[in-house]
Structure 1
């Protein structure tokens, strides 16, 4: 089923209304859809590099708005909608333990999930469920998704198709390692 969704999402990149399709995918990916918007962004930017920044902006705005839907699911419909979504992603068992620690690291959780391949919908739902301050959630979502989408757009704009393999296979790992070092640096400064 995931492969069919992936193929369907890829086919949208060639559609005349691809920007609207990107907005839709970016919106629903932040709350329940399993395919990330990068699947659409990459072929769209490779096909029209002069629109890279517009494409990234559409993904950013729609993703943050979709994150608000995820937040609302967590805040108002966690048991009916949020928990089944998290369980379908294999994250159901960690929910109770995660809740106790989430808001202590909420900024970092949202930032990390917004940039890395970790499913952003998990963090948006958990942010609402744990009652993370909405302003912190929105600001961090904007920062995280801007970093992710503009980084992808910038790499594709500058290097074109040859960078595609790196983005699809290694960018998430490189970004995750960077965040671990950044977070580790803050912890060292705080406790030394």
Structure 2
């Protein structure tokens, strides 16, 4: 079964819990960004603020899991999963931006899961990583959730 369909069913059938699972797994390895599901959850009538909070919590928990995996499994496993190209790019990115890299990746379309893994590989302070994730992810998810809510109002759903 397609990953997208699985994630969509999680949201439709389990609401906030499904959203938490989508955000958690996206921060570790699964390829489908949570944005479309956050927007969809708001369109389907879930509270946009709660959607943003739940998604942020899931993303932080998944991000910390990725951090721990990166820290414990190290460079060889990261390269096997994501490739040496992402490792080199991540190394340059961390050298240039540090915690700001986590914030940027959390808010932008950059692959957050890669930054989360690399935060552990490069031994970033876990508290700084978590705060950076919160600062980057919550505003992004809040904007997306309220955009979905606006669409539902506009469409009269």
**What is the TM-score when the length of structure 1 is the normalising length?**
0.72
The answer for the alignment partner of 1:39 in structure 2 is 36
Preserved contact between residue 71 and residue 126 of structure 1 (Cα < 8 Å): yes
Displacement after TM superposition at 1:100 (Å)? 5.3
Asked if 1:13 is matched to 2:11, the reply is: yes
The answer for the alignment partner of 1:57 in structure 2 is 53
Larger Rg: 1
Preserved contact between residue 110 and residue 123 of structure 1 (Cα < 8 Å): yes
Q: 1:160 aligns with which of 148, 151, 155?
A: 151
Instruction: Tell me how large the CA RMSD over aligned residues is.
Output: 2.2
Mapping for residues 15-164 of structure 1, pairs under 5 Å: 15=13, 17-48=14-45, 51-79=47-75, 81-87=77-83, 92-96=84-88, 98-99=90-91, 102-157=94-149, 159-161=150-152
Displacement after TM superposition at 1:103 (Å)? 4.0
Secondary structure of 2:31's match? coil
Displacement after TM superposition at 1:132 (Å)? 1.3
Structure 1 unmatched runs, 5+: 164-192
Looking at structure 1, the residues matched to 145 and 59 of structure 2 have their Cα atoms a distance apart, in angstroms, of 15
Runs of at least 4 residues off by over 3 Å: none
Looking at structure 2, the residues matched to 97 and 42 of structure 1 have their Cα atoms a distance apart, in angstroms, of 30
Structure 2 unmatched runs, 5+: none
Displacement after TM superposition at 1:81 (Å)? 3.7
Preserved contact between residue 114 and residue 120 of structure 1 (Cα < 8 Å): yes
Displacement after TM superposition at 1:79 (Å)? 4.2
Looking at structure 1, the residues matched to 51 and 126 of structure 2 have their Cα atoms a distance apart, in angstroms, of 26
